[in-house]
Structure 1
Amino acid sequence: MTKTNKTMVESLAEWVAQLEWQDLSAEAVEALKKRLLDSVGVAIGALEGEPIQAIRQMTETFGGKPLVTLIGGGKTTPVDATFYNGAAIRYLDYNDSFLAKEETCHPSDNIAPVLAAAEYNQISGKEFLLSLGIAYQVQTRLSEVAPVRKHGFDHTVQGAYGAAAGASKALGLDAQKIANAIAIAGTTQNALRVTRTGSLSNWKGLTYPNTAMGAVHAALLASYGITGPREVFEGNKGLMDSIAGKFTIDWSKEMLEHVNKTIIKKYNAEIHSQSSIEGLLEIRNKQKIAVEDIKQIRLTTFDVAYHIIGGGEEGEKKTIQTKEEADHSLPYMLAVAFLDGQVMPEQYEPSRINQADVQNLLQKVEVKVDATYSARFPQEMACRLEVETNDGTIYSVEKQDYEGFTTHPATWEVLLKKYETLTQKIDQKLANQIAATIQKIDEVAITEFTSLLGQVRVLNEMNEG
């Protein structure tokens, strides 16, 4: 049968194939470097996490041709490296986010698949950043026009298209093979939203690494001539028909600027909690309220925050026993922030989660929705915090954003401090070298960067050895 009009995936692939370094603005390049620094720090900070160690053990047990670097040492196949490195980036739930009206995603999840393809193909840092910018653009634009959460599917669905597009570009595929890679990935990676509802499991942090692994596999299959359904978007039982509904994107007119619309987490907490945590800490640090004097902590917020982490449609949030439940519970995150003055990885240790002080205080946190705040989202992350003491005094603060939001972007210096905090357990000379290489990554070969990631060792492991 002779092909007639180009399908959407073919138009997308043609756009990806013709993009060049000059299509990235200076602002986009800087934004990509910031998010790379942020994500690498988060990954290094996650290396001691039990799920990450379990995945490393599995990877080492089954092996694989040593082609692509694992953060923390060793090499394996591009597919397996994508899963492990992606899991490390995602595990702490501390990497960047993109807010659309009906969808939220974490575009830096694309670093692992694009980096694996880039190292395998031994491309330049410039080509890596371009490929990463493509992945960001595709995932975030699809999140805007084709939300899937309301249909019971996970936000990783749109990521399959972005990861495959970015990995294909890094592999140097032509337009036809790029289209096949995206089509294969998009057809096969449709995760259910149950991942993030009810009682949460390790899979919350592993869904995108699995999606990204599938996207790299799809790109490699396409590189060997395997084809995928060319009507993956608009065809019978395709994405529009089966999940998202009808939407349009003229890919030929797309820029690579959506990375500038992504936001970076100040606190190690689910993204929609960031402004509320900042607000509560402002009250805490100014008023010096004793915890035993607190009658109630009240948060009024926007609908998305309420439904995902506040006890709305995705389940109650006051029965907290695991890290995954804790970092998706506004009552827990606000309670632990007030008690400890911070929300960092140590606030999700089992010993901290199960302590009586935080378990008792989180029961005093009430979350409700305000329609005006909901209408202002995602341009703002508006909320109001009230702390009422036993004598009836009410302390309050209202927020519209936080440090790291699009209206209050984090500087390189702020992100470097976050990176330094997360990399305290590795050799500091190496940590500094990694950060410096990221800052000039457009001037080096990508293997210069990945070789540094392969030298990372957690210091207590080094001392034991």
Structure 2
Amino acid sequence: MVVHEVRVHPSSAQLPRQAQLTWKMAELAAAAPPPTPKVAEMVACRVIDNAGVALAAINRQPVATARVMALAHLYAGGATLFGLPPAVRVHAEWAAWANATAVRELDFHDCAPPSAHPADNIAPLIAVAQQMRCDGAALVRAIAVAYEIQVALGRGIPLAPSQKEQTGHLCAATTAGLGTLLRLPVATIYHALNQAVLISHSPRQTRKGEMTSWKAFVPGHSGKLAIDAVDRAMRGEASPSPAYEGESGVIAYMLDGPDACYHVSLPAPGEPLGAILQTFTKAHAAVNHAQAFIDLAFELRAGVDLSRLREAVVRTNSTVHNIVGSGANDPEKSNPDASRETLDHSLSYIVAVALEDGWFHHERSYAHERAHRPGTIALWRKVRSVVDPVWEAQHRQAPPERPALGGRLELHLDDGRVIAGEKHIADAQVGGIRTMDKAGYEQKFRALAGPVLDAEALEAFLALAHQLPNASPEAVFRLNPVLPRGAVRPDRTDGKGIYDHAG
């Protein structure tokens, strides 16, 4: 790996293109080697994972809304939508919008801790691959590059301290992946990256208070921005620079300020891509920061009479405490009427439900009636988090490829007993006791897609995904599985918005 120092430079310095981070990312995108078999297999697993969570969410309201908006932009030479026949095609940017929303809706796909979801890159890359008639090998390489960029940016330029949403890195990663997919020259990718970086940063208020369904739409929005940036650059248009290092750029005014200095590690020329192997998918449909505590709740609940519980204390690090725990100081995280998007980012709610049920379901665990059970509400109010110096130190000392987002869960009973357990990381995380392998991804896909996808189509999709590096451009069109007629609702425009207004 090559470590690149990234800091603000005055305009008078006229920082050369070749010294700018976006140029270095563009060089990687243009010249990245083909993925190793291990990386290609994991790319296939993430394509499978995305399809499963998307199909399980196919008729949820945000997904339906995004799909109807996309259907107002039909294009015979375009890309397909999850669930609909391959003859139904829309412009690639709108396929990215709809399909990425479907993937993101349940908060049940992969993670690059502490806060990124690099599988959000996949739907836009598939959409463009379909419209541009790219084959599976090109798509696999593009996905691997997108993971490489997003993981590198997330570790080297943390967004949480400046309260920024992950789109700032996601859009750049997707843009780089598109450059790889289309085999664009370095200069073209560079200009597309500058545009993408400058327009994609947004404040973290999208993850606080009344979160609403926008959380699900964010990756699709980011994908559209990336496709726009690449399309414009392909037509010969340049973009302002330096995007990161300029005295009025992203670092100076959107991140940690003009005195900040970051270090971003990117593969050296010819070095194998491997970042995707340092990420993992979720075992539970909840925020990444809660995964270890769901695992702990399952282990500790046996034999515990929850009516005797005086309080449940989560001892953890400041990241977990401030983002999803008591340190967020967000009353919506304790509100039974809060949106699903808020509840799946509420550590106290998640722990309460996991303790009561011993399982966690992507829909039933968040149902209105589930959140309004008197017993659940009473238990919910007894759960609190605190920053523990021991877990804070472990979090700060953990290697970036294996961040410690766990802690200690203590169940304090009314007779003075304390039932407790600890986990440094979630069971499914890289290095955990149940890290998901190829069979695990297939099992998760069958559980999520099996209820809506017929058996023959399910097996055909799995076979295609596992042969993705050898897939023809025609086969790439089958990467968004088709559901039986009538299973996708709605499957046409409804005239409710601007895009499909009849006039």
Higher relative contact order (CA 8 A, sep 6+): 2
Q: Following TM superposition, by how much is the alpha carbon of 1:79 offset from its aligned partner in structure 2, in angstroms?
A: 0.6
Contact kept? 1:68, 1:78, Cα under 8 Å: yes
Counterpart of 2:495 in structure 1 is: none
Secondary structure of the residue aligned to 1:298 is: strand
Counterpart of 1:13 in structure 2 is: 26
Contact kept? 1:426, 1:458, Cα under 8 Å: no
Distance 2:428 2:456 in 1: 27
Distance 2:195 2:149 in 1: 16
Counterpart of 2:374 in structure 1 is: 356
Compute the RMSD of aligned alpha carbons. Answer: 2.4
Could you tell me which of 84, 92, 111 is aligned with 1:97?
A: 111
Deviations 1:194-218 (A, max 9, x none): 0011222111222222112100111
| Deviates most, 177-186 or 370-379 | 370-379
Count of residue pairs brought into register by the alignment: 457
> Is 1:413 the counterpart of 2:439 in the alignment?
yes
- Aligned ranges for residues 221-260 of structure 1 at < 5 Å? 221-244=232-255, 245-249=260-264, 251=266, 253=268, 255-260=272-277
Contact kept? 1:181, 1:228, Cα under 8 Å: yes
| Deviates most, 321-330 or 233-242 | 233-242
- Aligned ranges for residues 295-374 of structure 1 at < 5 Å? 295-313=310-328, 315-316=330-331, 317-320=333-336, 321-346=338-363, 347-374=365-392
- Aligned ranges for residues 263-278 of structure 1 at < 5 Å? 263-278=280-295
Q: Following TM superposition, by how much is the alpha carbon of 1:379 offset from its aligned partner in structure 2, in angstroms?
A: 3.2
Distance 2:369 2:455 in 1: 28
> Is 1:135 the counterpart of 2:151 in the alignment?
no
Q: Write 1 or 2 for the structure with the bigger share of helix.
A: 1
Could you tell me which of 163, 170, 173 is aligned with 1:159?
A: 170
- Aligned ranges for residues 78-89 of structure 1 at < 5 Å? 78-89=92-103
The one-letter amino acid of 1:9's match is T
Q: Following TM superposition, by how much is the alpha carbon of 1:374 offset from its aligned partner in structure 2, in angstroms?
A: 2.1
- In structure 2, relative to structure 1, the CA distance for the partners of 1:66 and 1:299 (3 Å cut) is same
Contact kept? 1:197, 1:314, Cα under 8 Å: no
Secondary structure of the residue aligned to 2:144 is: helix
> Is 1:393 the counterpart of 2:417 in the alignment?
yes
| Deviates most, 225-234 or 59-68 | 59-68
Counterpart of 1:281 in structure 2 is: 298
> What TM-score do the two structures reach when normalised by structure 1?
0.92
Could you tell me which of 469, 475, 478 is aligned with 1:442?
A: 469
- Aligned ranges for residues 173-252 of structure 1 at < 5 Å? 173-244=184-255, 245-249=260-264, 251=266
Q: Following TM superposition, by how much is the alpha carbon of 1:62 offset from its aligned partner in structure 2, in angstroms?
A: 4.8
Contact kept? 1:38, 1:418, Cα under 8 Å: yes
Distance 2:391 2:16 in 1: 49
- In structure 2, relative to structure 1, the CA distance for the partners of 1:5 and 1:295 (3 Å cut) is closer
Counterpart of 1:379 in structure 2 is: 403
Distance 2:477 2:413 in 1: 52
Distance 1:386 1:450 in 2: 50
> Is 1:451 the counterpart of 2:464 in the alignment?
no
Q: Following TM superposition, by how much is the alpha carbon of 1:239 offset from its aligned partner in structure 2, in angstroms?
A: 2.1
> Is 1:293 the counterpart of 2:293 in the alignment?
no
Distance 1:403 1:436 in 2: 28
Contact kept? 2:73, 2:91, Cα under 8 Å: no
Distance 1:461 1:183 in 2: 38
Distance 1:450 1:374 in 2: 46
Q: Following TM superposition, by how much is the alpha carbon of 1:354 offset from its aligned partner in structure 2, in angstroms?
A: 2.6
Q: Following TM superposition, by how much is the alpha carbon of 1:461 offset from its aligned partner in structure 2, in angstroms?
A: 5.1
The gaps in structure 2 that reach 5 residues or longer are 1-13, 396-401, 492-503
- In structure 2, relative to structure 1, the CA distance for the partners of 1:248 and 1:403 (3 Å cut) is closer
Deviations 1:205-255 (A, max 9, x none): 222221121001111121222221241121231222223333344646265
- In structure 2, relative to structure 1, the CA distance for the partners of 1:365 and 1:250 (3 Å cut) is closer
Contact kept? 1:32, 1:259, Cα under 8 Å: yes
Contact kept? 1:179, 1:230, Cα under 8 Å: no
- Percent sequence identity over aligned pairs: 23
The one-letter amino acid of 1:11's match is K
Distance 2:297 2:485 in 1: 33
Secondary structure of the residue aligned to 1:201 is: coil
Counterpart of 2:459 in structure 1 is: 432
The one-letter amino acid of 2:183's match is G
| Deviates most, 319-328 or 379-388 | 379-388
Distance 1:432 1:459 in 2: 21
Secondary structure of the residue aligned to 1:187 is: helix
The gaps in structure 1 that reach 5 residues or longer are none
Distance 1:388 1:459 in 2: 50
Contact kept? 1:13, 1:175, Cα under 8 Å: yes
Q: Following TM superposition, by how much is the alpha carbon of 1:107 offset from its aligned partner in structure 2, in angstroms?
A: 0.5
Deviations 1:359-390 (A, max 9, x none): 22211112112122122225333311122333
The one-letter amino acid of 1:319's match is N
The one-letter amino acid of 2:33's match is E
- In structure 2, relative to structure 1, the CA distance for the partners of 1:47 and 1:314 (3 Å cut) is farther
Secondary structure of the residue aligned to 2:210 is: coil
Secondary structure of the residue aligned to 2:421 is: strand
Query: Runs (4+) of structure 1 moved beyond 6 Å?
Result: 1-4
Counterpart of 1:422 in structure 2 is: 448
Secondary structure of the residue aligned to 1:374 is: helix
Distance 1:154 1:82 in 2: 19
Q: Following TM superposition, by how much is the alpha carbon of 1:456 offset from its aligned partner in structure 2, in angstroms?
A: 2.8
Distance 1:458 1:352 in 2: 31
